A = this chain, B = another copy of it.
Amino acid sequence: MALESDRGADAKPRVLLTDHPWPDVDVETAIFAAAGIDLVAGPVEAPRAQEVERLATAHEPDAIMTCWASVSARAIAAPPALKIVARMGVGLDNLDVVAAPGRGAWVTNVPDYCVEEVSDHAVALLLAHCRDVVGLDRLAKRGVWKPEAARPRRVRDLTIGLIGFGRMGRAAAAKLRGFGCKVIAFSRRGANGEGVESVTMAELQARADAIILHLPLTPETAHLVDDAFIQTCARAPLLINVSRGGLVDNDALLRGLDSGKLCGAALDVIKGEPNPPESVLRHEDILVTPHIAFLSPASLIELRRRACEEVVRVLSGGRPVFPCNEPAVRAAR
């Protein structure tokens, strides 16, 4: 593999890893060492955007990899020979997708490493609610055995509404099929397949007993679930969010639960994480997991490996497998 860098003819290409919410960087180090690439690893916890800008300026990386840290237009502009900004994950809301291609760099993600996990998680949250598992276990842990407190529902009798019908939505629909419930979905591109009925957003709000958010956070989808959205829901649905916290207005959610317009919520993501409002975190009618829908031992290794391989591919002059944007101007090599 012929790898180059403008830091000098004999300098190795360099990757800046802005953050890594796993304890070591053994997987990344092994892959990059084998490819003759230097790794500069940031901290476990995501640094602020300004710190990422400082690191990008100081280290002049050929590639920036980020998990949760924000990668701003300024950070993308800083390295003279940046060729790729690689998201270690699916969503692109923490990097400046527009700035990178203008700068001549690829943007990549790993869109399918955790399809099993996220769809498992969405169905797990739905079933936990339908079978009242969490509320009843809370009572048990206080020493209380109280069957008459149970509020279970028969899944087959429900209509489940998916908003977004990409890889995750389709996988959730396939898993729900075995339960015999009606699955309807709204997607801008239409929702066809997996025995799902494609509906308008208004139909979904009118018919759904549970709503699962399976869509990315963009300027258009931010606060999709707000007061107006919730008021339009007819059947006091359960709201499940396994996508991005910013899709939901926390205050509107709390008002929706108080007024009975929503029967409950199950959130793997909350706006404000990793310090979400206590009023959401501790709410009795909100089932909370801390943004781990993507996670399993298998998925995490796969994510790290595949994100690194994408960087190696681009720094070796190849085209990425999952480009999110075509570079407008190819980086000078």
Q: How many copies does the complex hold?
A: 2
**A136 touching B298 in the complex, CB below 8 Å, given contacts A120-B130, A177-B178, A178-B177:** no
Provide the residues of chain B in CB contact with A251, threshold 8 Å: none
Interface residues of A toward B: which range?
Answer: 35 or more
Q: In the complex, what's the smallest C-beta–C-beta distance from A282 to chain B, in angstroms? A: 6
Whether B116 and A156, one on each chain, are in contact in the complex, defined by CB atoms closer than 8 angstroms, is: yes
- Report how far A293 CA is from B127 CA in the complex, Å: 12
- Report how far A116 CA is from B131 CA in the complex, Å: 11
Q: In the complex, what's the smallest C-beta–C-beta distance from A263 to chain B, in angstroms? A: 14
Q: In the complex, what's the smallest C-beta–C-beta distance from A319 to chain B, in angstroms? A: 30
Taken residue by residue from 264 to 302, chain A's Cβ proximity to chain B (1 for < 8 Å, 0 otherwise) reads as 000000000111101001100001111111011111000
Whether B179 and A131, one on each chain, are in contact in the complex, defined by CB atoms closer than 8 angstroms, is: no
Residue of B nearest to A153 (CB): B296
Provide the residues of chain B in CB contact with A152, threshold 8 Å: 117, 121, 292, 295-296
Provide the residues of chain B in CB contact with A36, threshold 8 Å: none
Taken residue by residue from 219 to 232, chain A's Cβ proximity to chain B (1 for < 8 Å, 0 otherwise) reads as 00000000000000
**A137 touching B298 in the complex, CB below 8 Å, given contacts A127-B123, A143-B281:** no
Does A134 count as interface, using CB distance less than 8 angstroms?
A: yes
Does A190 count as interface, using CB distance less than 8 angstroms?
A: no
Whether A128 and B120, one on each chain, are in contact in the complex, defined by CB atoms closer than 8 angstroms, is: no
Taken residue by residue from 175 to 210, chain A's Cβ proximity to chain B (1 for < 8 Å, 0 otherwise) reads as 111111000000000000000000000000000000
Q: In the complex, what's the smallest C-beta–C-beta distance from A223 to chain B, in angstroms? A: 21
Taken residue by residue from 132 to 152, chain A's Cβ proximity to chain B (1 for < 8 Å, 0 otherwise) reads as 111011111101011111101
Does A258 count as interface, using CB distance less than 8 angstroms?
A: no
Provide the residues of chain B in CB contact with A299, threshold 8 Å: 154
**A141 touching B282 in the complex, CB below 8 Å, given contacts A123-B127, A127-B124, A152-B296:** yes
- Beyond A121-B131, A124-B130, A136-B292, 12 additional contacts (C-beta under 8 Å) are A21-B147, A116-B156, A117-B154, A121-B152, A124-B131, A137-B287, A140-B282, A143-B278, A145-B275, A150-B295, A152-B296, A178-B178
Residues of A within 8 A of B (CB): 21, 116-117, 120-121, 123-125, 127-128, 130-134, 136-141, 143, 145-150, 152-157, 174-180, 273-276, 278, 281-282, 287-293, 295-299
